[in-house]
Structure 1
Amino acid sequence: MASSDLVKRWFILTHECMPAAAAERGWPVRFDHCFQRILLDHSVGGPWRETIAAPAYRHASDAQLQRAIALGEAALADEADLSALNRQSLAWRSKLRRA
């Protein structure tokens, strides 16, 4: 179970910071649950629900949530490509649309 400080950072990041930045950065997602899916999937290397029980913020380990937060912060700092991360997350879930 993640610590309360990490959970607080998680919600600020995915409920406030990332949605606020989405439009200006041209990100393919804008809702908190989409950011959470992308970041958690990459934190565990596949669909997060296969590794973490729902709700993830309650059941993720500190290490899993720290990896997810770090990746979200990297996206905000333009050090990670959120569009590419989203494509990989969708591919893991077999939901990637073919062009």
Structure 2
Amino acid sequence: MRGRQYRYGLDMTALSPAPDREARERHWLRLTRETLPALARSRDWPVSADHCFQRILLDNACGGRWYDHIARRPAYAHAPDAILAAAIALGESVAEDTADLDALNDKSMRWRGKL
């Protein structure tokens, strides 16, 4: 049986639940509040604010507007492990310059009717 699929067609059930959910959330916050905004200063990215990175990564991990998939706020605290893991992996790819933040942002904005 195939698991639920998210961005890039990944079978997210292959990811085991976080052994330490708090550690995963801390990693998410460090990535989106510190790492990516710091990198934005030296890269030609369309965003630099932490909440923008969070929107882009969560939307793309969900395959649509995150709030259509995650009922409560803050989203990272209520996202299923698979979605949070996918968003973190995508953020790490952005940081490593192996994912196109411009394209991810455009996709997020289209889902929100802003493009």
Q: TM-score, normalised by structure 1?
A: 0.92
Give the deviation of 1:61 after TM superposition.
Answer: 1.0
Alignment length (residue pairs): 95
Tell me how far apart the structure 2 counterparts of residues 79 and 38 of structure 1 sit (CA, whole Å). 15
Give the gaps of 5 or more residues in structure 1.
none
Tell me how far apart the structure 2 counterparts of residues 90 and 23 of structure 1 sit (CA, whole Å). 22
Corresponding residue of 1:7: 25
SS in structure 2 at match of 1:24: coil
Q: TM-score, normalised by structure 2?
A: 0.80
Flag the structure with larger Rg.
2
Give the deviation of 1:23 after TM superposition.
Answer: 2.2
Which segments of structure 1 move beyond 2 Å, counting only runs of 4 or more? none
Are 1:59 and 2:102 matched, yes or no?
Answer: no
Give the gaps of 5 or more residues in structure 2.
1-17
Summarize the alignment of residues 60-79 of structure 1 with structure 2, pairs less than 5 Å apart: 60-79=79-98
Tell me how far apart the structure 2 counterparts of residues 26 and 91 of structure 1 sit (CA, whole Å). 20
